[in-house]
Structure 1
Amino acid sequence: MLSYRLKPGDTIGIIAPAGPIEQEKLERSFSFFENMGLKIKLGEHVYDQYGYLAGKDTNRLADFHRMVADRNVKAIIFARGGYGTGRIIDKIDMELIKKNPKIIWGYSDITFLHTAIRQATGLITFHGPMPASDMVKKDFDTLSSQLFRQLFGPTNLIYSESISRLTVYREGEASGKIVGGNLSLLVQTLGTPYEISTKDKLLFIEDIGEEPYRVDAMMNQLRLAGKLQQAAGIIIGDFAEADPKVQPSLRLEEVWKHYFKNYRKPVIAGFRIGHCFPHFSIPLGVEATLSSRTKTLQLSPGVR
């Protein structure tokens, strides 16, 4: 299910469903949206803090539901990730989302929301940089900024080596709906009603601050759950701050080779999608094609 595109004059809602945010940082991001002709509506509890959470669960959930129900809000942009979306996921009114489909944008801890909402409603959501954690950084670059424009009209995206060097671990070409996101969050869905479905899908993974042995453990859990075998192909995004602190250690490249040495489907790494710049924003749930021959990832539009 595609959301309607944005147009100048539309209102976007900004809420914090996970970790707490700094007001000054969020406010510095407002000009990014205003320069695109968009109006901003803040969640009532966007500046709340409750320990490592952006307010009590009930208030973060209420902000989300209010934005979904508000017909004047055309897109919901999450202020930052952190931790906390998994705590409210079983309270989200999926029927309300079905009745009010709109653009949903964020990443990292938001992976839990992307997965649950897509699988319950069929809504296409967007994996992209967030206002309080990315758009205010000095290295927020032109490409990362321009990719927000895909929300203003149907856009076919092509990722090639013109953006970054790509490494092929297994050759081949595969098409399917692209799913996934933050690896640690995908693992958290296993054994829950929101468990990630990878059957015949292109599985995308990324993460930050996870050493090779931790990535190894999470990949092994996906393997044991059948998620790697069921996928049509694997897209390895950015794994930031992954240098091992525990020595001796395998390199991350060795971890990938271990899990994909006998894989019979395409596996390509090096995509600048994740906790990095440029951050190549993508719609999740759209049809996509991964090809080792052309070293490209092609994605269908995420809006109509």
Structure 2
Amino acid sequence: MTLKPVRLKKGDTVGIIAPASPPNQENLQRSFAFLEELGLNIKMGEHVYDQYGYLAGSNGNRLKDIHNMFQDQEVKAIICAGGGYGTARIASDIDYSIIAENPKIFWGYSDITFLHTAFHQKTGLVTFHGPMLASDLGKIDAHSYSKQYMNQLFEPKRLEYTGDLSELEVMVPGKAKGKIVGGNLSLLVSTLGTEFEVDTEDKLVLIEDINEEPRAVDRMLNQLYMAGKLDAAAGFVIGDFNNCIPDREQSLSLDEVLDHYIGKANKPAVKGFEIGHCSPHFSLPLGVEAALDATNKQLTIDSGIK
């Protein structure tokens, strides 16, 4: 099942939540001007400014903000302030019937990957992998290219990513079609063995990460491989692996690790997409049909809204 949310229009209200770690407050405040430029009104979650160690509030309060924003009929979209850590702690306590009965735009990435996966697998909701307010859009040097892709929330439009946007490299040639799923590699691996285990069967799988040494990426891809998740996929979209460099002289490179596992799967794959912890950052819907022409370095993605 695919459940697309309704498009935004000027004058709509967007809800802001912090379901993971405490967001940078200066960047968060600065991001509001961008949302207002889009013609949107802002409604803050009750616990956005909470802090509980490395979490933006207790499990119960972060959970409450998610439920409240989906149930609030005034709110037409939910945008995450930032990522970090903590969404997996609340996933099993979410009332997914609330989300299924109130489908709306849900936007974020990084640690939010766990929620993207859980929401789609429990309800079929299409969610959006895109730059967040405090982490990206509210920064002084926020890239205009990152901002412009939020326009996809206002009008149904097929997205296309070609070599004109960034330097792409063919890993395995060929063509593949399927729903696009995935996101942060660390979070995808953390779903294994849980009720939210990522489903890659006949899917285009997006992976990206940050601050993970090649040996850590190797370990995570090997776990996905041994779990059958790589062989099951239709193809692979390799996003940005920011600062994923070795901290020792004797190491495989990140490219050697990626080439090894993607080569073992032997499904159409392209790397070099500016998707993830990077600037600029290409945003896209997850859970919609997409087509990868790896030979010609083209990715097309259906609209995530209706």
Q: Shift of the alpha carbon at 1:141? A: 1.4
Shift of 1:72: 0.5
Q: Percent identity?
A: 59
Distance 2:40 2:154 in 1: 11
Structure 1 residues 274-295: Cα deviation after superposition (integer angstroms, max 9, x where no partner):
0001100000001000112321
Distance 1:301 1:281, change over 3 A: same
CA distance in 2, matches of 1:23, 1:216: 35
Structure 2 SS opposite 1:213? helix
Q: CA deviation at 1:259?
A: 1.2
SS class of match (2:5): coil
| 1:122 maps onto 2:121 in alignment | no
Structure 1 residue 137, shift from structure 2 partner: 2.1
State the match for 1:191 in structure 2. 193
Match of 1:222 among 224, 243, 250: 224
Return closer, same or farther for 1:153/1:285 CA change in 2, 3 Å cut-off: same
The residue type equivalent to 2:303 in the other structure is P
Query: Which residue is equivalent to 1:90?
Result: 92
Q: CA offset at residue 262 of structure 1?
A: 4.2
Paired residue for 1:245?
247
- 1:83-110 deviation digits (Å, cap 9, x = unpaired): 0000000011100111100000000000
- Structure 1: give runs of 5+ residues left out of the alignment: none
Runs of 4+ residues deviating >6 angstroms: none
Any residues of structure 2 matched to 1:1-304 within 5 Å, and which? 1-304=3-306
Instruction: Tell me how far apart the structure 1 counterparts of residues 18 and 134 of structure 2 sit (CA, whole Å).
Output: 10
Secondary structure of the structure 2 residue equivalent to 1:158 = strand
Confirm or deny: 8 A CA contact 2:213 2:246 kept in the other structure.
yes
Query: Which amino acid in the other structure matches residue 256 of structure 2?
Result: E
Residue 269 of structure 1 and its aligned partner are, at CA, apart by 0.4
Q: Deviations over 1:238-278 (max 9, x none)?
A: 00011111221111111122113343320110000000011
> Which residue type is aligned with residue 87 of structure 1?
R
C-alpha RMSD of the superposition = 0.9
- Amino acid of the residue matched to residue 134 of structure 1? D
Deviates more, 1:139-148 or 1:230-239: 139-148
**Does the 8 A contact of 1:21 with 1:79 survive in 2?**
yes
Q: Contact (CA 8 Å) 2:170, 2:295: kept in 1 or not?
A: no
Task: Answer whether contact 2:209 2:277 (CA < 8 A) is retained.
Answer: yes
Question: Could you tell me how far apart the structure 1 residues matched to 2:22 and 2:6 are?
Answer: 29
Residues 4 and 126 in structure 2, CA contact (< 8 A), matched pair in contact too: yes
Distance, in Å, in 1 between the alignment partners of 2:33 and 2:247 is 39
Q: Is the 8 Å Cα contact of residues 22 and 47 (structure 1) preserved in structure 2?
A: no
SS at match of 1:175: strand
Query: What amino acid sits opposite 1:84 in the alignment?
Result: G
Compared CA separation, residues 60 and 221, structure 1 to 2 (3 A): same
Gaps of 5+ in 2: none
The total of aligned residue pairs comes to 304
Q: Distance in 1 between matches of 2:24 and 2:226?
A: 40
Measure the CA separation in 2 of the matches of 1:244 and 1:136.
30
In the TM superposition, residue 80 of structure 1 has moved relative to its aligned partner by 0.2
For 1:262 and 1:144, how far apart are their aligned partners in 2? 33
1:5 is displaced (CA, Å) by: 0.2
In structure 2, distance between residues paired with 1:246 and 1:186: 26
CA distance in 2, matches of 1:31, 1:102: 22
| C-alpha distance in structure 2 between counterparts of 1:102 and 1:260, whole Å | 34
| Maintained 8 Å contact 1:139/1:277 | no
Task: Give, in whole Å, the separation in 2 of the partners of 1:260 and 1:17.
Answer: 32
CA distance in 2: counterparts of 1:87 and 1:202, whole angstroms: 27
TM-score, length-scaled by structure 1: 0.98
Deviation at residue 22 of structure 1 after TM alignment: 3.1
**Separation (CA, whole Å) in 2 of partners of 1:41 and 1:250:** 47
Q: Is the Cα contact below 8 Å between 1:79 and 1:133 reproduced in 2? A: yes
SS in 2 for 1:104: strand
